[in-house]
Amino acid sequence: MAKPDKKLRIPLKYVRYCSAALLAVAFLVMYIIAAVELTPKRYELSVGSAAPETIFATRDVTDDAATEALRALARRNTPKVYRIDTEKAESLKAQAQAFFDALETLRAKAKNLALVQGTELTSLANAQAWADFLTDEQTVELEKRTSPALSEEALYEVLAASSEDLSYLEDIVLPKLNISLSAGLSEASLEAVKNESKLEIQEVSRLSDALKSVGASVIDACMQPTYLLDETATAAAQEEAAAKIADVTVKKGEVLANEGAILTENQIELLEKLGLVRPAESDVSLKIGVAVYLIVVYVVFCAYLFVLHDDILVNLKSVLILAAFLTLTALVTWAVNGISTHMTLALLAVMLAALLVSESAGFAVAVVISLFSGLMACGGGVPLFGAEYVAMLLSTLASGIVTVLSLRKTHNRGAIIAAGSMGGVAAAAVIAGLYVAAGNTYTALLSDMGWALGSSMLSAMLVVGSLSIWENLFDVATAARLNELLNTTQPLLKQLMQEAPGTYQHSMLVATLAEAAAERIGANSLLTRVGAVYHDVGKLKRPLYFKENQKPNENIHDTLPPAESAAAILAHQKDGVALLVRHKLPSAVVRIAAEHHGNALMAYFYKKAIDESGVKPNSKLFRYAGNRPSTKESAVVMLADSCEAAVRSLGSDSTREQREEMVRRIIWSKLSDSENLLSNAPLTLNDLSAIEASFLKTFNGILHDRVEYPAQEQKGNEL
């Protein structure tokens, strides 16, 4: 049933090339780190090594590090230079004055509109009268005449206010601004001064609340810092102080390093300047062996994905996630390896791969990271593939596998820490078994067990702390993120409940229908539920244009032309996408909202337009501009949305047979030649049958037939 998407796609072979390139970068980083860590230090002189003899400077040489440290200290100790920005202060004052001047202009404009239309000004004595008189277009035009713009409530109040009240407001606001701006207002004191000024305005009993809010808006817009850091003067002063610091010079014949002293980075730099450091020999065979080892690891890793999970390799986002976290973990492992070989954040990549890509990806990454961690445990002169290698490999592997398995039922971020703890316990248990078998001391056993357990818990906490970043960066809708979006404290849901309660109830019913159907056909039921909950948030822009939010016998469309009604209704799909994008919801949820009507024709208003005019209008004016559903989740939400609205139209006393007939007709009508709305959805006919059965089961559970009770004579016995 599904047709190829007409959008431009990267050919599959090029996707594979890109995936291979990304994994090659991760391999290269791992190889470089392993080669550097495992190659024996054969330098005659290096940071941290002991000087073989007392070394003297062969000539005068500048100690750049010491010089720069003193100059940096001089810069830090130089006081910052501040100044009052009089130009900015005057500009802000002028802006405030222009605002009050604009109030008089817009009042004159509004009065002129009234005179043109023959309306007596005496009849426009209050804000409500102005609200009733002005059209929406006139209101918008007048609101834009001031900066900052007035709200509708404030506009009407300004028009109704007396000139004396506006002058009084101006006399309160402008002096406060002038004094604060001219005296120099710092960033630190800005909020306090603003709040104090607004509080004084609020305490004026003569003014209405709306006029007070106008004054507060001017304070917010025009009261800005004018006592600013003069970066140019500060930088000049700092550089002047730094320039006074003379170069620190090591004189010829001075001791650079005593025999046996541990060489520092600064000493090595000085020795290199003097040409006293000779390059080290390379260990070619070791580097080749490390390369072969990691090549085998990556070949097996890629083969596993290619054979069993090719969908990951053809998804560039998934491969990018895997490559990024393999690289990141390799770098972090290298950074902390000097503390303890068992101090590893390997679980970071494993958990994020499992959460952001899939469970199978988590297992695969766990194997790669374990083999790499085992190799890294062989640095510092430890024999290759010895006991340390085995202990690190097996403990990291056990930790990764147990953690991924524990993440299966993770639907909140708190459970992630529990999963990491379980992985840490597994790693500690493996270490305990190996150390006891090998006869290691209890001190080493407890120490390494502690590092393993602590590292796993630290990794889990880092995952929890950074998961939102990765979710947004890679635009992934994890189960934890989706569950958070279902919380009624979410701003959009809260707004939907308060401003469009009918739409909210409709969305909840659609979510119930869609979730059960998605689970029935093997789609992502949680994503489907979230998509259904948010699919109609676009109705928030015009809630009263939709039947479920209207009062009985009050339908705004009775007074509107069909084309205008259709335009308002059609806009909710686009408005919903804009809202979801603004609130940074996952693109998978946004897609559902964008596709839940596809490009369907709004038949009711189209037919109404024909009936009223007698001619067929342009059908594009009555057709949704969205794409047809391209995923199972989008298709299920579209079907649930249509069926819920249709069944609701039957009334609460509808019979089971009526509901069955309606659901069947709605679902299969989407396959008609005229609409063909499911042409891009990966659904089979069996899926549609399963969706129909699921919808009917849910409807029959919600709208089950009720028993007819005989009338009761006593009022207290009524049900």
Q: How many helices (H) and strands (E) does the chain have?
A: 29, 6
- Residues 285-321 pLDDT 10s: 778 888 898 999 989 988 888 888 877 877 888 888 8
Claim to verify: residue 500 and residue 466 sit in the same structural domain:
no
| Separation CA 601–CA 619 (nearest Å) | 7
pLDDT value at 411 more than 70 = no
State if pTM tops 0.85: no
3-state secondary structure of 431: helix
Q: Residue 2: what pLDDT?
A: 37
Mean pLDDT value of segment 187-209: 82
Q: Which residue has the higher pLDDT, 363 or 335?
A: 363
Q: DSSP code of 58?
A: S
| Separation CA 248–CA 72 (nearest Å) | 13
Claim to verify: residue 467 and residue 510 sit in the same structural domain:
no
Mean pLDDT value of segment 708-712: 44
CB 89 within 8 A of CB 182: yes
CB 431 within 8 A of CB 391: yes
Quick one: pLDDT band at residue 43, thresholds 50, 70, 90? very low
Residues sharing a CB contact under 8 Å with residue 395, sequence separation 6 or more, in sequence order: 342, 426, 427, 428, 430, 431, 434, 452
Residue 380 lies in a domain: yes
Residue 621 lies in a domain: yes
Q: Which pairs count as long-range contacts for 135-138, CB under 8 Å and 24+ apart, including other chains?
A: 138/110, 138/113
pLDDT value at 427 more than 70 = yes
How many domains are contained in the chain? 3
Residues 364-400: b if buried by 16+ CB within 10 A, e if exposed = bbbbbbbbbbbbbbbbeeeebeeebbebbbbbbbbbb
Claim to verify: residue 470 and residue 491 sit in the same structural domain:
no
Report residue 452 as tokens: 């393993």
Mean pLDDT value of segment 539-558: 82
Rg (CA), the chain: 36
Quick one: pLDDT band at residue 197, thresholds 50, 70, 90? confident
Mean pLDDT value of segment 27-52: 73
The pLDDT mean for the chain works out to 80
Residue 303 lies in a domain: yes
- Mean pLDDT highest for which of 146-160, 370-384, 430-444, 637-651? 637-651
Q: Which residue has the higher pLDDT, 422 or 121?
A: 422
Residue 664 lies in a domain: yes
Preceding omega of 148 cis (within 30 degrees of 0): yes
Q: How far is CA 502 from CA 441, 488, 673, in A?
A: 69, 15, 33
Claim to verify: residue 469 and residue 490 sit in the same structural domain:
no
Claim to verify: residue 88 and residue 170 sit in the same structural domain:
yes
Mean pLDDT value of segment 374-397: 76
Claim to verify: residue 396 and residue 522 sit in the same structural domain:
no
- Residues 661-684 pLDDT 10s: 888 988 888 887 567 888 888 888
Helix residue spans in 377-488 (DSSP H): 387-406, 413-438, 442-474, 479-485
Burial class (CB in 10 A: 0-12, 13-18, 19+), 332: middle
pLDDT value at 614 more than 80 = no
Quick one: pLDDT band at residue 136, thresholds 50, 70, 90? confident
Quick one: pLDDT band at residue 28, thresholds 50, 70, 90? very high
Claim to verify: residue 465 and residue 574 sit in the same structural domain:
no
| Separation CA 424–CA 399 (nearest Å) | 6
| Separation CA 426–CA 53 (nearest Å) | 49
pLDDT value at 5 more than 60 = no
Claim to verify: residue 366 and residue 506 sit in the same structural domain:
no
- Residues 325-359 pLDDT 10s: 899 888 888 887 767 777 788 888 888 888 888 88
Lowest mean pLDDT among 26-30, 204-208, 395-399, 638-642: 204-208
Claim to verify: residue 399 and residue 491 sit in the same structural domain:
no
Q: Which CATH number fits the domain that encloses residue 652?
A: 1.10.3210
Q: Residue 45: what pLDDT?
A: 64
Claim to verify: residue 424 and residue 573 sit in the same structural domain:
no
Domain span at 542: 481-702
pLDDT value at 510 more than 80 = yes
Portion of the chain with pLDDT greater than 70, in percent:
89
Residue 121 lies in a domain: yes
